[in-house]
Amino acid sequence: MVEKAAPFHQPEESHADTQVAISRCHQPMAADAKSTVLAPYELNDADWNAYLARRKSRERVNVPVPAFVEVRGTGGEATKELESYLQPLVGKPVDTTTTNSILNRLTGTGRYDSADFWLAEDESRTGLIVNMHEKSCAPPILQLGFNVDGSEPDLSPSRNPRDSR
């Protein structure tokens, strides 16, 4: 048997409580009280727009196109594999969304903890430097292998080819 829950009733506020709350809204706020402290930093519209224009002029609009990719933080064969994997980024303007997506995919494979990248100049070329951070602790992995080599003769007495008995 399912019982119906009692309807929810909000406590009724008195008219006087509501008037007190409304009067608080019309009182000066803390920021209004501090406006005299902040007044020396006030800018008019012309000065503010001039500041925004100076700030925008410092933004880098033309990002260099990387001519090569260099991977750091790994060694040997892993570096070569990563550089070949990242070759599609060469010769195109750097798109941080695409680059971050590729690096997130690499860190998701389990071998790398994180990766970061930046642009650098090497002689007269601009390149994309990718720094891979390998995991310092990972689950132990046992890699077994065996070597089959047919060059060693089987010299057991029953199979010795020199034994003609």
pLDDT score, position 154: 61
| C-alpha torsion angle, residues 10, 11, 16, 17 (rounded to 10) | -80
Q: In which residue are the tokens 């390998």 written?
A: 134
- The CA distance from 78 to 127, in Å, is 19
In-domain check, residue 156: no
Domain count across the chain: 1
Domain assignment present for 96 = yes
Residue with tokens 């969304």: 97
CA distances from 103 to 30, 100, 110 (A): 47, 5, 12
Tell me which residue range forms the domain holding 90: 68-134
Q: State the burial class of residue 4 (Cβ atoms within 10 Å of its Cβ: 0-12, 13-18, 19+).
A: exposed
Question: Mean pLDDT of residues grouped by 10 in the chain (165 residues)?
Answer: 58 67 68 79 92 90 88 89 92 90 86 89 90 79 72 61 56
In this prediction the pTM is 0.50
Contact 134, 82 (CB under 8 A): no
CATH of the domain at 129: 3.10.20
Residue 140 phi, psi dihedral angles, 5° rounding: -65, 140
